[in-house]
Amino acid sequence: MLLDRYVLRQFILTLIFAVAALSLIFILVDLLESLDDFIDQKASASIITTYYVTYLPNIFKLLVPVGMLLASLFSVGRLSGANEITAMRSGGQSLFRFMVPLLLLGAALSVGQIYFNGWVVPAANAKKFVIERTYFARSNSGGSLSQLYFRDSPVRNVSIAAYDAAARQARTVSIENYSSEAHPRLVSRIDAPLMQWDSVRSVWNMPTAVRREFRGDSLIMTELRNDVVPFSIRHDQIVRLQRNVEELTFPELRDYIETMKKGGKDTRRQEIEYYGQWAFPVANAIVVLIAVPFASVRRRGGVAVHIAAAMGISFAYIAFTKIVQSVGVSTDYDAVLVAWSANALFLLIGIVILVRTRT
């Protein structure tokens, strides 16, 4: 429809301008803060340019929903100020019908940004962190691979004193097997000075080891050679523990959390943040539902009102999300429910505003 194309063109142009302007401001502020590091490390212009090119996806991840909010307020506000929305209503088009193309665009961007945030941004972050570690001496790894502890199964614990990722070797390994989860009693223990990952068979191998079996009051010791290790955690899962979580794709992050959980860690905060990353892009559609009815009503103050509204909605959404996630860590509510609660609340607010707006 001609009118839909007209509205979408106004909206998309405003969106591109808003995201570009905000990104430029973001980069300039960061550049001013990092300028001393760049000079101290004698970074060339090409390195600095590459650094910010790899930084852009992470910036877009944060700013696209804000850009959607600004585009909704300014493009629709401009149409309202020029009495074009009044003319549309006089022609028989309701506010609901007017919003359809914008809501569809918001939904499409939400789906696209889920992929963008979950796969494109981590790849860009990995390149960005390499530059930081190489030229700016910034440490952004997940930690050293030493003193690792895993609950490989309900009845098996594995400890590794140190792990050499390059050689794919674990040193000073202990594997303890218990009788049951309800009434744990140590049944056997395997101690190996070295554990090697066999990439062909995808198994762990112990060149030498000692197995101790506890049978009543007796202890049976057996020497093992070139034996397969009963350990389900893979080499890549262990290495992933050293990477910064911002470098991990959504599937890798899910796997990382499961590995941490097997290591006996409390992963509730990480789970809430993980599901929150899936929920955040949906804000692209929700802000349209809130901002369009608000901007469709002509108000005194013009641009100032829209800027204030954008700041207020953005602050409220971010603040509510952070508060709920922080409180949710100490509750028993499902992590998915906690992560999506901000979207649910603002979706309800958007529906209320839409219903109360004269259509």
Report how many domains make up the chain: 2
Tokens of 188: 């056997």
Query: If residue 159 lies in a helix (H) or strand (E), which one and from where to where?
Result: strand 156-164
Q: What is the mean pLDDT of residues 37-41?
A: 87
Q: Is pLDDT larger for residue 260 or for residue 111? A: 111
User: Is 86 part of a structural domain of the chain?
Assistant: yes
Give SS3 for 220: strand
Greatest mean pLDDT among 52-61, 147-156, 229-238: 52-61
Q: What is the mean pLDDT of residues 1-24?
A: 93
- 215: pLDDT strictly greater than 70: yes
User: Is 328 part of a structural domain of the chain?
Assistant: yes
User: Is 167 part of a structural domain of the chain?
Assistant: yes
Q: What is the mean pLDDT of residues 145-154?
A: 88
Distance, CA of 21 to CA of 209 (rounded, Å): 62
pLDDT in tens, 285-298: 999 999 999 998 87
User: Is 250 part of a structural domain of the chain?
Assistant: no
- 34: pLDDT strictly greater than 80: yes
Q: 214 is in which domain, residue-wise? A: 146-242
At position 124, the amino acid (one-letter code) is: A
Regarding whether 102 and 39 lie in a shared domain, the answer is yes
Give SS3 for 174: strand
pLDDT band at residue 240, thresholds of 50, 70 and 90? confident
Percent of the chain with pLDDT over 70: 96
Which of 59, 58, 79 minimizes the C-alpha distance to 14? 79
Tokens of 91: 């022609």
Regarding whether 227 and 184 lie in a shared domain, the answer is yes
User: Is 247 part of a structural domain of the chain?
Assistant: no
pLDDT band at residue 38, thresholds of 50, 70 and 90? confident
What's the confidence (pLDDT) of residue 290?
A: 94
DSSP secondary structure letters along 8-24: HHHHHHHHHHHHHHHHH
What's the confidence (pLDDT) of residue 305?
A: 83
Tokens of 155: 């009845």
- In b/e form, how buried is each residue of 293-322, taking b as 16+ CB within 10 angstroms? bbbbeeeeeeeeebeebbeebbeebeeebe
Percent of the chain with pLDDT over 90: 69
- 143: pLDDT strictly greater than 60: no
Regarding whether 207 and 282 lie in a shared domain, the answer is no
Regarding whether 130 and 150 lie in a shared domain, the answer is no
Pick the last residue of a domain from 242, 263, 289. 242
What's the confidence (pLDDT) of residue 167?
A: 93
**Cβ contacts of residue 229 below 8 Å, gap of 6+?**
173, 175, 190, 192, 195, 203, 204, 205, 206
DSSP secondary structure letters along 31-64: HHHHHHHHHHTT--HHHHHHHHHHHHHHHHHHHH
Regarding whether 109 and 150 lie in a shared domain, the answer is no
What's the confidence (pLDDT) of residue 145?
A: 81
Regarding whether 217 and 302 lie in a shared domain, the answer is no
DSSP secondary structure letters along 221-250: EEEEEEEEP-----HHHHHHTTS-GGG--H
Pick the last residue of a domain from 242, 262, 279. 242
Q: Is pLDDT larger for residue 108 or for residue 182? A: 108
What's the confidence (pLDDT) of residue 115?
A: 97
Kindly calculate the radius of gyration of the chain based on its CA atoms and give it in whole angstroms: 27
Regarding whether 8 and 105 lie in a shared domain, the answer is yes
Sign of the torsion angle spanned by Cα atoms 134, 137, 140, 146:
positive
What's the confidence (pLDDT) of residue 94?
A: 86
> Are the C-beta atoms of 335 and 272 separated by less than 8 Å?
yes
Regarding whether 277 and 191 lie in a shared domain, the answer is no
pLDDT band at residue 319, thresholds of 50, 70 and 90? very high
Distance, CA of 16 to CA of 8 (rounded, Å): 12
pLDDT in tens, 265-277: 789 999 999 999 9
Which of 13, 73, 22 minimizes the C-alpha distance to 302? 73
Question: The pTM is what?
Answer: 0.86
- 66: pLDDT strictly greater than 80: yes
Mean pLDDT, the chain, rounded, equals: 91
What's the confidence (pLDDT) of residue 243?
A: 84
Regarding whether 174 and 82 lie in a shared domain, the answer is no
Regarding whether 164 and 84 lie in a shared domain, the answer is no
Regarding whether 39 and 130 lie in a shared domain, the answer is yes
Which of 212, 224, 217, 153 minimizes the C-alpha distance to 188? 212
